[in-house]
Structure 1
Amino acid sequence: MAGNSQRRGAINKSRKGPAVGTGGHRKRGLEGKGPTPKADERPNHKKYKMAKAAEKRRPQAPRKRGDDSEWAAGRNSVLELLRADVPVATLYVAEGIDRDDRVREILAIAVDRRLSILDATKPELDRFTDNAVHQGIAAKLPPYEYAHPDDLLAAAREAGETPLIVVVDSITDPRNLGAIIRSASGFGAHGVVIPERRAAGMTASAWKTSAGAAARVPVARVTNLTRQLKAYADEGLMLAGLAADGDVSLPDLDLADGPLVLVVGSEGKGLSRLVAETCDVLVSIPMASTLESLNAGVATGIALYAIDQRRAQA
């Protein structure tokens, strides 16, 4: 009967396709699968396994997320960090590097401090340092451990000393931050507080500029600077902000010998509006010419010196 799908050799025209025959499946099965992969690309081949084992032995590139480590690249930069006693987690040296006087001194310091020294290829150093001019050598700094702002006040009270804390408002140059930390260490401040966003943190440059003072002076980081200033005020500390148009001249600051927070503004704009309004007093540094200005690091050093001298006379 014509069209009867039950006949031997007939084709079933239902949606499920032919019930008899290969329907082309065997033809597709006979088609080639392309060129044979290279030996080091086949998972079961000896060369592939050897390449993977060698890759595991190489230093791993720094993680882009969740790793706050800092990197210093170049012979001069790494040498200056080591001379300044900046903590270094690992030293990476290119294979076959030309060992000039700087490299020999770097390696001597590293051996003396028992630092971890690893060999690395040039492509690996390029990745580690984001293609900086590393000259075959780079140093990895451990993530900085920020203190809690309450710890600064607690340390002053435990030592039986009058609290002196430096609060930095949006300093963006890490060298200025390092200079502020160095001055804080030199004039007896109990710590430095910095904002978490839109401000310099404890980078390799800040470490180097502090000349090792960052290892002695705790640095705290807060999400809301104004709120922290109010918290210090609630603890009995007075808030003095440095400003070019301050109402009180630095030599006339009567609050210097009491519990004090010195607030320093950013390099360009100075104190932000909310921070300035939170301060109890705005202090200016008298200068010989109105055309001259001081950067944040220098201004902080002068102010801390004046406060230290006032306290010594009290």
Structure 2
Amino acid sequence: MTGSVEGPAAVKDEEVGVGPWPGGPEAWPALEVDGALRYDVELLEHGDRRNVVDEYRYWTVEAIVHDLDTRRHPFHVAIENWAHDLNIGSVVRTANAFAAAEVHVVGRRRWNRRGAMVTDRYQHLRHHPEIADLTAWAEEAGLPVLGIDNLPGSVALEGYALPRACVLLLGQEGTGLSEAARAACQDVLHIRQFGSTRSINAGAAAAIAMHTWVVQHA
């Protein structure tokens, strides 16, 4: 998204973000706000081309995370990663856009971060080696686990009253929720489809599920 905030120099239309703060160091805003560092000297000097909303232009990563932590939503997103699912990056990016509390990666710790578009710097992530570990964590946190998959016996997401605090669990792309994941879910929800394809992309399904939560609660 291109954009500007009050003060920064204009940039070319094809460039993302804003240029150096005009006027040099003498015109910079106070680097600290309420005793905490907010502005990044490098960004003020050279410009901010990051994929962040205008409100956060020139802020440090730490300051952005701290501000997000004051208003994150109480839903979590989990995705199984048994075969290096390329959708995880997309899930992380969407979770950041909707201010999810955390993204949980179940299975392999390593995942392809390209799709996250660097949003993993601002989004809390948690790893669980097995579904049982996620289930134990959710039980301790008092959060119901809801699966997202078009399985026989699943309930339509549309019209389902999502709990305000919950975990939305998605399976591996192609295979869907594992047997262990299905057993861990309070309910499994499907997204209604009207075309010929059997399923939609896991990253897209995650986005629809998160937006459904936002429509109901945010």
When normalised by structure 2's length, the TM-score is 0.62
Report the counterpart of residue 182 of structure 1 in structure 2. Answer: 93
The SS at the match of 2:147 is strand
Task: Write the deviation string for residues 160-210 of structure 1: whole angstroms up to 9, x where unpaired.
Answer: 76521111112635531110001101112111111243x7x244xx2x311
Partner residue, 1:249: 156
C-alpha deviation, 1:268, in angstroms: 1.5
Identify unmatched segments of 5+ residues in structure 1.
1-82, 84-108, 114-155
Distance across 2 between alignment mates of 1:278 and 1:308: 24
2:186 is matched with which residue?
280
* Whole-angstrom distance in 2 between the partners of 1:188 and 1:257: 16
Structure 1 residues 59-70: aligned runs within 5 Å? none
1-structure distance, mates of 2:111, 2:139: 26
The separation in 2 between residues aligned to 1:279 and 1:252, in whole angstroms, is: 18
Residue 142 of structure 2 corresponds to residue 236 of structure 1: yes
Alignment-mate amino acid for residue 147 of structure 2:
G
Q: Mind listing any 5+ residue stretches in structure 2 that lack a counterpart?
A: 1-15, 17-42, 48-67
Note if 1:172 corresponds to 2:172: no
Residues 307 and 291 (structure 1), Cα distance of their counterparts in 2 relative to 1, 3 Å cut = same
Relative distance call for 1:211 and 1:171 in structure 2 (3 A) is: farther
Q: Give aligned-pair identity as a percent.
A: 22
Instruction: Report if the CA contact (8 A) 1:171-1:177 is conserved.
Output: no
Q: Which amino acid aligns with 1:181?
A: V
CA distance in 1, matches of 2:71, 2:91: 24
Structure-1 separation of matches of 2:79 and 2:170: 5
Q: Over aligned residue pairs, what C-alpha RMSD do you find?
A: 3.0
Residues 230, 278 of structure 1: 8 Å contact kept: no
Alignment of 1:1-314 (within 5 A): 159=70, 163-170=74-81, 172-173=83-84, 175-197=86-108, 201-203=110-112, 206=113, 208-245=114-151, 247-254=154-161, 256-289=162-195, 291-312=197-218
Between the aligned partners of 2:170 and 2:176, the Cα distance in structure 1 is 7
Q: Within 1, Cα distance between the matches of 2:171 and 2:143?
A: 19
Report the structure, 1 or 2, having the larger helix content: 1
- Whether the aligned pair in 1 keeps the contact of 2:106 and 2:134 (CA below 8 Å) is no
Larger Rg: 1
Query: Distance in 1 between the 2:103 and 2:211 partners?
Result: 16
Q: Which runs of at least 4 in structure 1 moved beyond 3 Å after TM superposition?
A: 158-162, 171-175
User: Normalization by structure 1: what TM-score?
Assistant: 0.45
Letter in 2 for 1:270: G
Shift of 1:159: 4.2
Residues 162 and 311 (structure 1), Cα distance of their counterparts in 2 relative to 1, 3 Å cut:
same
* Number of equivalent positions: 157
> Which amino acid is 1:176 matched to?
N
Contact 2:73 2:101 in 1 (8 A): no
